Chains A and B, each alone.
Chain A
């Protein structure tokens, strides 16, 4: 393995096993160059450029966490610029000209685009409300599992559980509570209409 590939592979490994600290490091490393490039290339403001950069970093991070990105044929920088380019192009295609990106909406749509993902918007919104009601440490635990893709061993260490079995039991209990809270939200809104594949 040549030196460049080894470094890229180490970065990916570090992000996969890491968390927000690694996310922050990557963000700071390429920020200046990315903003300089995107504002020139797409004639957008610095704030719009930052919005795109933040999305690009989140997608890069998510791809690694979900195991979609295991090897880089190019550098992290090239990969990030590529994602940024796609986001900016997509935005321009939809709006005909460059318009500020609604990051929250964009991130919601990013999840819908996943294969086999059929979303019911009402249930999604109820689930978001239920998640807020779920509180800590449940919220953190299930986020570590489903978003950060951490193993039970890693969760045990991060959340100081006795062993992976305890962590797994706790995760099952949290999910059961969350499902119950979602049901309660649905029961309180019996007239909500289901919209699949929004």
Chain B
């Protein structure tokens, strides 16, 4: 694939003003003639359209993820909450590790779609257990706003605010929620960076971070690292994890 010729700053300005609907009648005519007569400029315009298409596609996918989180919440209201507290989180995550280990082992027909589907089935955003927001709280700070946005499923706002707050103080809980918000928004590489940092820096939330890191690997189709991470999780002390490994070996 060939790159378009390096455009001049003037051409880039013209391009941006066209896509931002800022050209006057005369400029619009000039733009149209350039598209018609200048092959390189035409290629540049086409590429910009595709880039904007990709941005819009990302917006649609972010909102789709948001609707799915609402759906999960509605469905969740009729079911036993997945995460009641840290203790039950360990219990459920251990059970999920077993199922996911088996699924990864036996259901991977080496198609990325399948790892994506596994991600969708197993990923549930970690709840805000670190600073539950209370109704009627008068003081609104960036901190309360960040946690509130996360609880309300506004992951874009939460991600922005958490990123800012983490610059001042690196709180493991906040980093875990930020990485979950990243995953909800489809920002897989950012989520992975944050989760790796969390594993390195926190002794309390490293198990949770590893769980979400393994899911993020599935999301990006990196089956090898997903297997590695799940195996490592299976070898931890969390209940049922070792049994999962034992069972897996027996099934093998």
Contact = CB atoms under 8 A, between A and B. Distances in A.
* Binding between chains A and B: yes
Interface of A: 19-21, 23-24, 27-28, 31, 50, 54, 57-58, 61-62, 103-104, 107-108, 110-112, 116-120, 122-124, 127-128, 130-133, 135-137, 139-140, 142-143, 146-148, 159, 172, 175-176, 178-179, 182-183, 186-187, 189-194
A58 B153 CA distance: 16
B107 interface: no
A119 B74 contact: no
B152 A21 contact: yes
A136 B1 contact: no
Interface in B165-184: none
A147 B49 contact: no
Given A31-B74, A117-B49, A172-B16, A23 B1 contact: no
Interface string B47-70: 111111111111111111011101
A157 B163 CA distance: 18
Contact of A148 (B46, B59, B64): B59
B12 interface: yes
Given A108-B57, A146-B59, A186-B1, 13 more contacts: A23-B67, A58-B64, A110-B60, A116-B49, A119-B53, A120-B46, A123-B51, A127-B53, A132-B189, A137-B163, A139-B58, A147-B58, A175-B51
14 contacts: A20-B66, A111-B56, A111-B60, A119-B50, A123-B50, A124-B50, A127-B51, A128-B54, A131-B55, A132-B190, A143-B58, A147-B60, A159-B160, A176-B12
Interface in B4-26: 12, 16
A21 B46 contact: no
B66 A24 contact: yes
Q: Which of B47, B67, B159, B189 has the most CB of A within 10 A?
A: B67
A131 B152 CA distance: 25
A146 B52 contact: yes
A118 B159 contact: no
B246 interface: no
Contact of B154 (A20, A61, A123): A20
B80 interface: no
A176 B7 CA distance: 12
Q: Which of B53, B64, B70, B160 has the most CB of A within 10 A?
A: B53
A143 B160 contact: no
A182 B47 contact: yes
Given A140-B160, A146-B56, A194 B71 contact: no
